[in-house]
Each structure stands twice: as C-alpha cells, then as structure tokens.
Amino acid sequence: MQKSVPPGGHPFLWNPLLDATIVLLEGNLKAWQAYEVESARFIAKRMGATIEHLRALRQCCDVESANERQRTFFSEAQKDYAEEFGRLLATGYALSIGQISGLTKISEHRHVVTCDPAPRSDTEGPAGRPMPEAA
C-alpha cells in the first residue's frame, strides 16, 4: 500500500480518486454558495421592481399610461434577466476553471511513496506473507 508524506505533514494513504472527489465536492459547495447568493440578490431585485411597478400602476389614470408602464416594466425585466444570465455564465465559468486547477494540482502533487518489499520467492507475497494457494 502506498503512503504519502507531504512536506512538513503527516503520512496519509494516497488515493487519487478520493483526492479528486474531495476537490470536486469542494467545488460543488462553492458553486452552490455562489449561485445561492447570486440568485437571492437577483430575486430581491426583481421583487423590488415588481413592487415599484405595481405602485406605479396604481397611479395610472388611463389605459395608455398603464400600457406604457407595462412596456417599460417588461423591457427592464428583459434587460435584468439578460444581465443575470451573463452573470450566471461568468460565475459558472470561474467556478469550472477553479475546479480544473484544483484537479491539476492533484495530478502535480509530488508524493513520497513507500511500498512493501518485493516477494523473496515464488511462495511468498509482499512483506514475506505466504501467497494464497490457487484453487
């Protein structure tokens, strides 16, 4: 079994699959947190705009002014959604680059490996243990 000793650290069993899983899960946690914050900010902005829109509609005295207010509201909403889509894409891109660099660091990690000694004969396995008999 391979053991790794990072510089100045404690020995641990080296498992690249486990290391990659940890990096990916950490990335997923960061992604969820980033998307939650961004989503909450956007929802609050849109809810505030809806409240202001309804207040403005309450003050409209004729159909033409109400229609104009509706057009303005939907135009602003369309612009906000397009901007939010761009922010989400940028957030996703930044997070994916972070995950890729984390996985790259795993593959570049230098390990000090110690292994069991090689078998001494055809009947002994690693560390002098007897080989299992073939069935």
Q: Return the pLDDT at 10.
A: 64
pLDDT in tens, 56-87: 999 999 999 999 999 999 999 999 999 999 99
Domain ranges of the chain: 3-108
- Per the prediction, the chain carries an average pLDDT of 78
CA distances to 62, 101, 113, 117, 120 from 124, rounded to whole Å, are 96, 43, 22, 11, 6
pLDDT number for residue 11: 66
- Tell me the pLDDT band of 42, cut-offs 50, 70 and 90: very high
pTM metric for this prediction:
0.57
pLDDT at 109: 54
